[in-house]
A and B are shown apart, each in its own frame.
Chain A
Amino acid sequence: MRQSDSEVIQRVLAGDRAAFDVLVRQYQERIYRLGYRMTRNAEDAKDLAQEAFVQAYRSLGSFQQRSSFSTWLYRISMNLCLNHLKSAGRMNPAEVGGSLPDQRPNSMDDILTDERDRTLAAAIEALPPQQKATLTLRVYQGLSHREIAEVLECSEGTAKANYFHAVRALQRRLKAFRETE
């Protein structure tokens, strides 16, 4: 039977380092994808995800379990991503389209879908970091606004407002794209 995160954490704190592998395996894909959505760079996403786990390990003693382990891990990961974006600068939105995997278009529809996806990806990249973070956590991780507020250490109202503005920005961008089709 799979152990709960709490039980695994207790084992790690009792000295069982190898138990931490369980948490890594449980969350690695989620944290990596979170990093990728934020940075649009596979190498950066890998480095940031690994760093998130190492920081989580080091701080495990101070994790008071007031929130879930996943929320806490998302917080560590998001802080790393946001700091990375601040120092490395955001990807040029025009280049973001190139970071999407090649989907060999078979038809005009495919070409248009591909173009639309690149436009959307560029629009997300152009969002202010907090809005991008909120959108990523809401759409891709399925977090509620209350959980997003916990991760980003802001009020629930701020989380909602950031999400609202992010979606509105994407709507405007997509509307402009459709008008040029």
Chain B
Amino acid sequence: MSECGQIRDWLIVQGELDADERRRVETHLAACLGCAREASSLHEILGQVQALPVPEPPAEFWGDFEATVRRRVEDAPAPRPGVWARVIGWLGSLTGSWRIPALAAATALGLLVAFGLVRNRQPQRDIPPAEVLAVGEDLAIGQHLEVLENLDLFEEFDVLEGLDLLQQLDGGGRSRLS
């Protein structure tokens, strides 16, 4: 985007530019007649929009307006504060020796609830029973089974230079599992 294009876009959201952007706009407008005219035109349009009249209602309008709202409000159920607002309000109304224990109890309750929510969100790390662990071990060995079964084939490939090492590690791996 050209500098003029950027400046003309910024002119529209002027009033919410940061200090650097405002400085760039001011500097550019001082040097660019086209953009300065655009800024002036924009200012004029927004002024004209703002000045568009709203017909003034007659004098009795607002009296009737308020009366209608009041009537409808009187027919509506009275609003009640939300649950937490009521709890906080109740705590605030306590005086004397009840306030501190009540605050402490409310804090403790809040912490318990928060802890319970956090705990439920964490993934369960169940400790599997022993028989599952044993099967797991077999499976772990099984991951190497294909290699073990094909060791004689692999031995034929010179690229497996570290095969001795692999065989040694395999023996070490078994001892790790036992």
Kindly state the separation between the CA atoms of A101 and B79 in the bound complex, as whole angstroms: 39
Find residues 62-120 in chain A having any chain B CB closer than 8 Å to their own CB: 62, 64, 99-101, 103, 116-117, 120
| Contact status B69-A24, CB under 8 Å | yes
Find residues 150-181 in chain A having any chain B CB closer than 8 Å to their own CB: 160, 163-164, 167-168, 170-171, 174
B48 interface contact, C-beta 8 A: yes
| Contact status A120-B52, CB under 8 Å | yes
A-B contact count (CB 8 A): 107
A1 interface contact, C-beta 8 A: no
| Contact status B53-A120, CB under 8 Å | no
Interface residues on B, range: 35 or more
B118 interface contact, C-beta 8 A: no
| Chain B residues, Cβ within 8 Å of A53 | 69, 73
Could you say which of A61, A140, A164 contacts B82, with CB atoms under 8 Å apart?
A61
Which B residues are closer than 8 A to A by beta carbons?
9, 12-13, 15-16, 41-42, 45-46, 48-50, 52-57, 61-62, 65-66, 68-70, 72-74, 76-82, 85
Interface residues on A, range: 35 or more
Which A residues are closer than 8 A to B by beta carbons?
12-13, 15, 17, 20-21, 24-25, 28-29, 32-33, 36-37, 42, 46, 49-50, 53-54, 57-62, 64, 99-101, 103, 116-117, 120-121, 124, 135, 139-140, 144-145, 160, 163-164, 167-168, 170-171, 174
